[in-house]
Homo-oligomer: A and B are copies of this chain.
């Protein structure tokens, strides 16, 4: 591990009322009056790939809403190896746990250039006290996180599916909403840390997918792959009729 000096770029305060992901954001159901409280408290920040938003166990003063890019939530084992527990995409929230305890449960690291909103914990707590409108979205966020964890346990964890199948499933989950066929690229080490396999095994699985024309590099773009989403999905689901 090397020390990285990351310069996060501050883009000013967020205008939540005109936010591009407003309809899916935490504050979707707030009304005009509520937004007065938000003014100047939420910062709009960019991070380069590989930046740490926060570390597991650290005291948490902020929640984050991801507006573009991808973030991995990581936990480190006693032996120093990492395990990736979730990968967050546009519209996802991270750091929700600071509303319960005050420490972060995971380490959050950017996988690509990231644009996000940084929301003070105290603001969410105050809004939640003052209006009943925030509670439902908060419950829904908890539920979504749990659903995601459950899906990883069923689809991505070992058992009844070989590495190639699970890599295909992972790639399906990494699809970019905007451009179909474009998936965010992970390092072999990261794929290994998601699936619990050796990086070499991940490489062999990717190689096999490439040879089947289900996956290809994007020339000049080291942050994405080009993927045959339908083909991968067919491989990923055991929908064979026999």
Contacts and interface: CB of A to CB of B under 8 A. Distances in A.
A74 B138 CA distance: 25
A23 to B, nearest CB: 18
Interface string A153-176: 110011110000000000000000
Interface stretch (A10-18, A47-55, A142-150, A181-189): A142-150
Interface in A172-211: 192, 195-197
Nearest to A158: B158
Nearest to A151: B75
Bin chain A's interface residue count. 35 or more
Given A157-B153, A157-B158, A147 B105 contact: yes
A195 B106 CA distance: 23
A51 to B, nearest CB: 22
A150 B75 contact: yes
A5 interface: no
A85 interface: yes
